[in-house]
Amino acid sequence: MDLIEDLEAFQYEIETQNEQLRQSQAELVAAKDKYLDLFELAPMGFISLELNGAISEVNLTGAAMLGRERRHLIGVSIFQFTANEGLLVLHDCLKSTGNTGKKRGCEFELRPSHGAPRLMHVEIMAPLDQWKRPTGYRLAMLEVPESKKSYAEVTKRTEQYRALLETITSWFWEVDQDGKFLHVSLSVKYFLGYEPEEIVGKTLFDLMPPSEADRVSTLFRTALDNQEPILRLESIYLRKGGERVVLETNGAPVIDGQGKCVGLRGIFGSRSPHLETSS
């Protein structure tokens, strides 16, 4: 008789625990749905990025800001949606977040797939692994109110950016889908000894040794076909006098109104503080 009572008590305890587990599970599901709604319907855009800048997650507001359906954004580089100065600002902001675990903020002009450009304020954090290395980036974006964007301010920013492009120790460039230069900054003279007008019309590959041109052209075509950025690519270029120099490249795809990749734009910098040359 005692055994039967013990079994009944044990069964009651198990049923009670199961009921508590079911209630806890229901509460977890409700909490998850609640926070999912908050994530999706927040007035600010939330975006998660891979280390290479590819979008891995985005809420509905963020997708609307970028001007595409969410399913068409996963795996696409965030740099596709930045203007020329935005590319530099956003790249530097991501890079400065690094392995600090601290939040960084910046403003840049967003160029959505559809609609007019907009000035955005973005806050960036980088989750760290056990070795204090970033595993990706988390962005929170909010449009800067029109009241803060006076004509004088916009004009000042534009002039500052143009001056920056011409004096920065990195070489700003833009090429078409064949790798032909459409624009280069004055800094090209520091890196390769050419005036900008001597470069426009040439291709990236015209400025490389043949074997290096073959290697880089393959990487270039892959970036165009997949609409992916080129990050930290070290390549050998030929200066005007024939000397070789190693440059590091960062570039992002340029997307037209039909969603087609029509070229790349970005910056070159020397691999070290001094140009490395060899015969």
Residue 147, pLDDT above cutoff 70 = no
241 residue type, one letter: G
Residue 276, pLDDT above cutoff 50 = no
Residue 151, pLDDT above cutoff 60 = no
Q: Which residue has the tokens 């806890």?
A: 24
Any residues with CB less than 8 A from the CB of 253 and at least 6 apart, and which? 77, 79, 80, 223, 224, 227, 228, 229, 261, 263, 264
Assigned token pair, 207:
């400025």
Tell me the C-alpha distance between 139 and 89, whole Å: 14
For residues 169 and 190, the answer to whether their CB atoms sit within 8 Å is yes
Tell me the C-alpha distance between 227 and 254, whole Å: 8
Q: What is the mean pLDDT of the chain?
A: 77
Q: How high is the pLDDT of residue 9?
A: 67
Q: How high is the pLDDT of residue 56?
A: 92
Angle made by CA atoms 141, 144, 146, in degrees to the nearest 5: 150
Residue 23, pLDDT above cutoff 70 = no
Concatenate the DSSP letters of all residues of the chain into one string. -HHHHHHHHHHHHHHHHHHHHHHHHHHHHHHHHHHHHHHHH-SSEEEEE-TTSBEEEE-HHHHHHHTS-GGGTTT-BGGGGB-HHHHHHHHHHHHHHTTT---EEEEEEE--SSS--EEEEEEEE--B-TTS-B--EEEEEEEPPGGG--HHHHHHHHHHHHHHHHHSSSEEEEEETTSBEEEE-TTHHHHHS--HHHHBTBBGGGGS-HHHHHHHHHHHHHHHHHT--EEEEEEEEE-TTS-EEEEEEEEEEEE-TTS-EEEEEEEEEESSSS--EE-
Assigned token pair, 157:
């920013």
Residue 214, pLDDT above cutoff 90 = yes
Q: How high is the pLDDT of residue 208?
A: 95
Tell me the C-alpha distance between 255 and 248, whole Å: 23
Report pTM: 0.47
In this structure, of 51-55, 245-249, 254-258, the range with the lowest mean pLDDT score is: 254-258
Cα(first)–Cα(last) distance of the chain, in Å? Answer: 98
